Amino acid sequence: MPLSVLLQYLLPKRWLTQLAGVLASRRLGWFTRWAIARFVARYGVNMTEAEHASPAAYLSFNAFFGRALRPGARPLHPDAHWLCPVDGSVSQFGALRHGQLLQAKGHHYDVSALLGAQDDWTQALGAGHFATLYLSPRDYHRIHMPCDAQLRRMVYVPGDLFSVNPQTAQHVPGLFARNERVVCLFETADGPLAMVLVGATVVGSVATTWHGVVHPPRQAVPQRWDYDNAPTALRRGQEMGRFLLGSTVVLVWSTPALRWADAMAPGAPVRMGQALAWRAQ
């Protein structure tokens, strides 16, 4: 196991994450501007796509990290049934096998574990397809809807805070079902859809457009919000949430047969709004 992964078992990940969250939310004047400028240079962030291109326009690091793009920067594919919801890269994708998702070569994990044992949804999703999309530090960190959908449930699932980079995914079993995460469950014209927003080391918070920042007490008990009596409709391409610092999104559909876009391949870069998949004809 690489030293960088081994150290994650030893480091105080939750303390570091809480500290990063506090610092990222503060308005620290010249220090914030310096930190953003260093981050842009270190990771090669393309600020020409941002609604506000100057790092000095952002009063906190969180405001920079969750920045909006300028209008037209991410056109939506005109006819794909499912759009890519984020900028990032493909970790893995494919059909679930016996209710399991592929994490990395030699590593599988159960959809029930990923969803936090939402049994009524697990059965419907267990024979479908999945896509795991990794957001690196340089990426745009808002998350959009892959299709029209009605929100039915949101669940905060407590867990660990390992990094979710590709190297860690290769070496930590059950990583995405092990880390803290927010599970968003939707009904669509093609059946149930789960969008799982996975936390990671120094990911200060996850926010959704209908709830705001999800700030449950970090304890061993999941928290659940049901929206059956007041379902929220979200449109294809609409923003549904964002990460405050980077992480991973896992999509799981109930659709038993579909055709993936040609651009889909492990490690391939993706951009929000491009085609992800079509229904099989």
Q: pLDDT per residue over 210-260, tens digit each? A: 998 886 555 667 889 999 887 789 999 999 998 876 689 999 999 878 999
pTM of the full structure = 0.90
- The dihedral built from the CA positions of residue 55, 60, 61 and 64, taken in this order, carries a sign that is negative
Res 103: pLDDT? 82
Calculate the CA dihedral of residues 225, 231, 235, 237 and round it to 10 degrees. 0
247 as an active site residue: the answer is: yes
Catalytic residue (one of 129, 141, 144, 211)? 144
Mean pLDDT throughout 2-11?
64
Residues written for the chain: 281
Q: Which residue has the higher pLDDT, 153 or 65?
A: 153
Res 66: pLDDT? 87
91 as an active site residue: the answer is: no
The least confident of 108-122, 167-181, 229-243 is: 167-181
Burial (Cβ within 10 Å: 0-12, 13-18, ≥19) of residue 54:
exposed
- For 134-163, the pLDDT digits (tens) are 998 889 999 999 999 999 999 999 877 766
Res 21: pLDDT? 64
| CB 255, CB 279: distance < 8 Å | yes
120 as an active site residue: the answer is: no
Model confidence band, residue 119 (pLDDT cutoffs 50, 70, 90): confident
Catalytic residue (one of 89, 91, 205, 247)? 247
Catalytic residue (one of 87, 91, 141, 211)? 87
3-state helix, strand, coil in the chain (%, to 5): 25, 35, 45
